[in-house]
Homo-oligomer: A and B are copies of this chain.
Amino acid sequence: MWRVAFFSLRPRSHFVWMDSVPESAASVKKILCEAPVESVVQVSGTVISRPPGQENPKMPTGQIEIKVKTAELLNSCKKLPFEIKDFVKKTEALRLQYRYLDLRSFQMQYNLRLRSQMVMKMREYLCNLHGFVDVETPTLFKRTPGGAKEFLVPSREPGKFYSLPQSPQQFKQLLMIGGLDRYFQVARCYRDEGSRPDRQPEFTQIDIEMSFVNQTGIQNLIEGLLQYSWPNDKEPVVVPFPSMSFAEALATYGTDKPDIRFGMKIIDISDVFRNTEIGFLRDALSEPQGTVKAIRIPEGARYLKRKDIESIENFAANHFNQEVLPIFLKANRNWNSSVAKFIMEEQRLELIRLMEIQEEDVVLLTAGEHKKACSSLGKLRLECADLLEIRGVVLRDPALFSFLWVVDFPLFFPKEENPAELESAHHPFTAPHPSDIHLLYTEPEKVRSQHYDLVLNGSEIGGGSIRIHDAELQRYILATLLKEDVKLLSHLLQALDYGAPPHGGIALGLDRLMCLVTRAASIRDVIAFPKSFRGHDLMSNAPDSVPPEELKPYHIQVSWPTDSEAEKSSLNHPHHPES
């Protein structure tokens, strides 16, 4: 008699004890014991209860074992490049190269199965409960204005290319005009951004559009959708989600995607320092748009080490060329800072009052133009949170899912390369805020939009807007304000002329949402076959070379870079390990 320790029954990761009937013990034992790990074996036999006292109630299969009569080795497994239970230690490049083995890990099985279940629940909610129609839209389409990030697909007509769209934006609006009043699609989208961490050249969004709806209507729908589809093994979603204006998000958290699971809000303390002798504060305040801002790190003096503060200062200097002034509050209420002696007692008291400063806190000050000072402190706030958590402070409850609507975005931003010109803050189809429409013709940069973003734990997981349904207004914004080539969009402009209903929608980034729900380290862990950091499929080695004769039907040829260009390009993309 012998007993196989246990066998893993893939794919549900169940283990089962096996024993053999005496008659076939030798042959069965030989097959089962000699099969390499991860081989595929077929056994026949009888399922029986485990002997009393040997049950494992924690396992779904813990009550049974199999009395094996026959065993057959269906497929033997070669020596594995890594152990499959060892999820963490192997490098990501190796995991991607042998993705089919990595998929066998508990974590990948859990992530992909949960993703499937959650999307199914979303479909039930939209399709069965709310009358949405799942419509597939084309991915071989025409390039959009400014679509520099769109992959091209050569056609068999010389010089003519399709484009892989970044979203079904135009189609969903055309569907509204076509009378499909409630559209949704789990849509594949494409964006060619070159190498960017945690981005994929193809990604998936839950794409939704409705006719005769306003901002609240879309928000209620999405709150219900997430509540309905939320996994049972997670903290339930509480609705309605809080809402915050873009202006408040920027002023208080220094970002349009605030993580509101913790405080450390940005406080404007310009008034405290109107008459300061501290040089960089005085200089900043002498500018017309100058401000002084600060965040308070509770118990920072207790938890943060000197080198943590140095790393914060370095971070500020390296990432946004911003001077940051840390002030430590000692237990004895003394202020420890290089500028402490320049802070007058009344300023000190005012700061304590404004910022609710307590013993052992650290305060980080910065100065400059409102937006820049806020975004800098917003990033430092997150850096400090990371540092505090490394030091053992629980700041962001990992079980908590904290949703937030960010609303009232500006409709336009000044162009970075030419601030006199405007560009859409989101996209040119976004409707202006009804209260601000008159400003379009006088001060367009002040117009707020009907755009809304959905933020989860500090990550943007969705965004949408009420769209323009008036052809005149759309033409004015595209041609006069944005100076876009309207020819590329003539079909959409024309469609608006034929009785377009008021409409709006939203898109949720499924990959990022699943990443947050499963608490995965990267969106690559919620995608079955992701591309590497550099856009490669490391398993199949895509993209790959193509023989010139296969390019011929598409009337294209490769423009090989000259030596000097190639050198320049390899400097931009130095050879580094993938992932």
Contact = CB atoms under 8 A, between A and B. Distances in A.
A224 interface: no
A177 interface: yes
A317 B495 CA distance: 48
B546 A555 contact: no
A394 interface: no
A498 interface: yes
A171 B530 CA distance: 12
A499 interface: yes
Q: Which of A139, A545, A556 has its CB near the most chain B CB atoms (within 10 A)?
A: A556
A546 B143 contact: yes
A87 to B, nearest CB: 14
Interface in A82-136: 98-104, 108-109, 112-113, 115-117, 119-120, 123-124, 127-128, 133-136
A100 B178 contact: yes
A323 interface: no
B152 A546 contact: yes
Given A112-B180, A120-B128, A138-B202, A100 B495 contact: yes
Contacts of A542: 140-142, 162-163
A560 interface: yes
Nearest to A211: B11
A554 interface: yes
A141 to B, nearest CB: 5
Given A546-B152, A546-B161, A550-B152, A104 B491 contact: no
Contact of A104 (B159, B179, B204, B556): B179
Interface in A495-533: 495-502, 527-529, 531
A9 B127 CA distance: 21
Q: Which of A158, A181, A496 has its CB near the most chain B CB atoms (within 10 A)?
A: A158
Contacts of A139: 139, 188, 202
Nearest to A147: B550
Interface in A423-460: none
Contact of A559 (B140, B174, B201, B557): B557
Interface string A532-556: 0001010111111110001110111
A50 to B, nearest CB: 24
Interface stretch (A69-77, A274-282, A328-336, A361-369): A69-77
Contacts of A531: 138, 140
Given A10-B179, A180-B109, A540 B491 contact: yes
Q: Which of A76, A154, A178, A529 has its CB near the most chain B CB atoms (within 10 A)?
A: A178
Q: Which of A170, A531, A550 has its CB near the most chain B CB atoms (within 10 A)?
A: A550
B116 A133 contact: yes
A470 interface: yes
Nearest to A187: B188
A204 B136 contact: yes
Nearest to A162: B543
Contacts of A78: 497-498
B179 A528 contact: no
A506 to B, nearest CB: 19
Nearest to A133: B116
A194 interface: yes
Nearest to A144: B540
Contacts of A162: 151, 542-543
Contact of A557 (B39, B180, B491, B557): B557
Contacts of A546: 143, 152, 159, 161
Contacts of A552: 559
A454 to B, nearest CB: 21
B112 A135 contact: yes
A167 to B, nearest CB: 14
A142 B557 contact: no
A248 to B, nearest CB: 32
A155 interface: yes
Nearest to A134: B116
A528 B151 CA distance: 23
27 contacts: A40-B502, A75-B496, A75-B501, A98-B498, A99-B174, A100-B174, A100-B175, A100-B178, A103-B175, A109-B180, A113-B133, A138-B531, A140-B151, A140-B531, A142-B540, A151-B162, A152-B154, A156-B192, A157-B543, A158-B559, A158-B561, A159-B546, A162-B543, A180-B528, A555-B559, A556-B557, A556-B558
Interface of A: 10-11, 36, 38-40, 74-78, 80, 98-104, 108-109, 112-113, 115-117, 119-120, 123-124, 127-128, 133-143, 148, 151-164, 170-171, 174-175, 177-181, 188, 190, 192, 194, 201-202, 204, 211, 469-470, 491, 495-502, 527-529, 531, 535, 537, 539-546, 550-552, 554-561, 566
The 9 closest A-B pairs by CB, nearest first: A103-B178, A77-B499, A142-B542, A160-B543, A155-B543, A11-B179, A116-B134, A104-B179, A11-B181
